[in-house]
Amino acid sequence: MGNLKTGHIVEAAIWLSLTIFLYIYSFEFDKEIEIYKYGASSWPRAILLLIAIAAIGQLAFHWRSGDGAGTSMIGQATADSAEDAAHESHHDSARWYAWTFFLLAIPFVYLNLPEWIAAAMSLEKPGLHTVKLISAAVLVAIYLIAIRGNHVGGILALPILFGAFLQDFGFYAMAPVFILGVMYLFGERRYKHMVLVMAGLFALLLMFFVSLLYLGLPAGNISPFYDFGTGLVNILQ
């Protein structure tokens, strides 16, 4: 086994399985282009090949010299204490990773599931909106239960969930909840402070970007969030 650790093998395995997955998927667009001999898939496949070589090269390097950096690389990304912090908080166990990835998957369920349900039941737009509202509520509940005991996972997943909700529910309705959520997850418990900071920050954002710069932030597509967003913009502009 040389100087290999489990982590090194996992790392190489992730790279190689990613390459294989994307290589298989590249047949989807393996189309000829009339005016270009190499087609649409040669460049991606060349990159995949290089990644595979580099991943194996890295594995060989670890096998020979373990973790020892030993090279003249500069400005290392590990110069901060991120690595130590992770280790201290036991955020590097397999269980923690699995839990965190489960949390991170929640927003993607929202991005796909309602469309599938609507397609399966051949629903029109109003039906789709109902499905989306219900899925959102269920997923938020799952998220709230799942973050108990995995604080950092909750922090990682919350913004993505916020991003996933933006198009349907809008920035105007979601941002105040998001601001409160971040403050809570970051350990603030003085509710008066939280509400004051939230209101101040939200008002500043709206005044600066919406009233002053006329920036169109996502207003949402689903009632009543849509009506709230557009109504607010109407007052501000």
For the segment 33-52, give every residue that binds other proteins (CB under 8 A). 33-41, 43-44, 47-48, 50-51
Q: How far apart are CA 138 and CA 65, in angstroms?
A: 49
CA-based nearest residue to 198, from 211, 182, 186, 180: 180
Contact letters (x/-) for other proteins, 200-229, by CB under 8 A? -x---x---x---xxxxxx--x-x--x---
Please say which residue, 142 or 180, places its beta carbon nearer to other proteins.
180
- Residues 119-158 contacting other proteins, CB under 8 A: 151-152, 155-157
Q: How far apart are CA 228 and CA 218, in angstroms?
A: 12
Question: In whole angstroms, what is the distance from residue 10 CA to residue 180 CA?
Answer: 37
Calpha distance 201→223 (Å, rounded): 25
DSSP 86-133: HHHTTTTSHHHHHHHHHHHHHHHHHHHHHHHHHHHTT--HHHHHHHHH
Q: In this chain, which of 4, 9, 16, 58 binds other proteins, going by CB under 8 A?
A: 58
Site membership for other proteins, residue 117 (CB under 8 A): no
Whole-number minimum distance, CB 205 to other proteins, in Å?
6
How far lies 109's CA from each of 21, 57, 81, 84, in Å?
20, 36, 33, 32
H-run or E-run covering 200: helix 191-205
For residues 75 to 94, the per-residue mask of contacts with other proteins, x marking binding by CB under 8 A and - elsewhere, is xxxxxxxxx-xx-xx-xx--
Minimum CB separation of residue 126 from other proteins in Å reads 11
Is residue 177 within the footprint of other proteins (CB under 8 A)? no
Q: Shortest distance, CB of residue 51 to other proteins, whole angstroms?
A: 5
Site for other proteins contains 191 (CB under 8 A): no
Binders in 3-32 for other proteins, by CB under 8 A: 11, 15, 22, 25-26, 29, 31
**Residue 107 found at the interface with other proteins (CB under 8 A):** yes
Closest CA to 168 of 101, 104, 107, 211: 107
What's the gap between Cα 115 and its chain centre? 19
Q: Using the rule CB under 8 A, is 160 a contact of other proteins? A: yes
Q: 119 is written with which tokens?
A: 């397609």
Give the number of residues in contact with other proteins, rule: CB under 8 A. 91
Least distance in angstroms from the C-beta of 212 to other proteins: 10
Q: How far is the CB of 1 from other proteins (least distance, A)?
A: 19
